[in-house]
Structures are given as structure tokens and as C-alpha cells.
Amino acid sequence: MSEINRTLFDSYRDLYRPYVNVVNSRLAKFNLFSTQWLVLRLISLKGSCTLVEIAKETRVEKPSVTRTIQKLIEIGYIETRQGEDRREKYVLLTERGTEVYKAIQLELSSLFEECIEGIQEEELHIARKVLDRILQNVLKR
């Protein structure tokens, strides 16, 4: 492995934990962690999802998704509805969940702007393409 490859993955590892910690600190006032926010955001973007869809989209095991869903139900951000198939449940945002989603979007958009300060749009575009390509390569395994 070349030095640039090691450095790239070291940089990713160095970024990941501080990033998650900062996001979690912003989410704390909404009683959420980043993993719960990921699920809440997905539900908002899709309108409604099944547990299987959430597990697939987030690349998280179904038991972990089930625990996350239960927590989001407990705090009143989401609810479930029975699907056509009795075994299938759909998860959707409650009114409170929609309000919280919008508030978090505002909160995190300012954080993300701070995080990319001084980085040119073209650099961000290239970084996104590189990360997407790495993800595709990892998922092939």
C-alpha cells in the first residue's frame, strides 16, 4: 500500500470520531444520536419505510434498526403503520418528528458550513466522487 493510500485512510479515521462527536453534541438537545438521526432523516426523505428498507439503506443490521426505531417511537418522533402484508410495518414521522427534523436540518446545515469553510466547491465535488468510488469498491467485497 502506498503512503498516499495509508494517509487517505488515516485521514478518514482521524475525521470520523471528532465529526460524530460534534454532530452528537448538536443532536443532544433533540434527544438523539447520529445513528438515530440517520434513520429519522431517511424516513423523512422517503416519506415512509419498512424496517428492511431502513436496514438496507443505512447498512445496519435489522436488530440495531429495531432498537433505533423503538427509541424514536418512545420519544414521539416516529410511528408505525401496518402494511398490506401483516408482517410488514411502515415507519413514518409524526408531526413532532417532522418539526424536529426541520430544526435539526437547520442546526446541522450551519455545522456543515463551518466544517467546509475554506474549501472550494470543486474540491468538495472531487472529494465526494472519491468517497463514493471508495464506497462502491468496499461494497463489492
The full set of domain ranges for the chain reads: 3-109
Supply φ then ψ for residue 84, to 5 degrees.
-60, -40
Whether the Cβ atoms of residue 89 and residue 81 lie closer than 8 Å to each other: yes
- Taken in order 52, 54, 60, 65, the sign of the CA dihedral is negative
> 19-55, pLDDT tens digit by residue?
999 999 999 999 999 999 999 999 999 999 999 999 9
Q: Enter the pTM of the model.
A: 0.85
pLDDT (average), residues 86-112: 93
pLDDT for 26 equals: 95
> 126-135, pLDDT tens digit by residue?
999 999 999 9
Residue with cell 422517503: 46
Fold assignment, 3-109: Arc Repressor Mutant, subunit A (1.10.10)
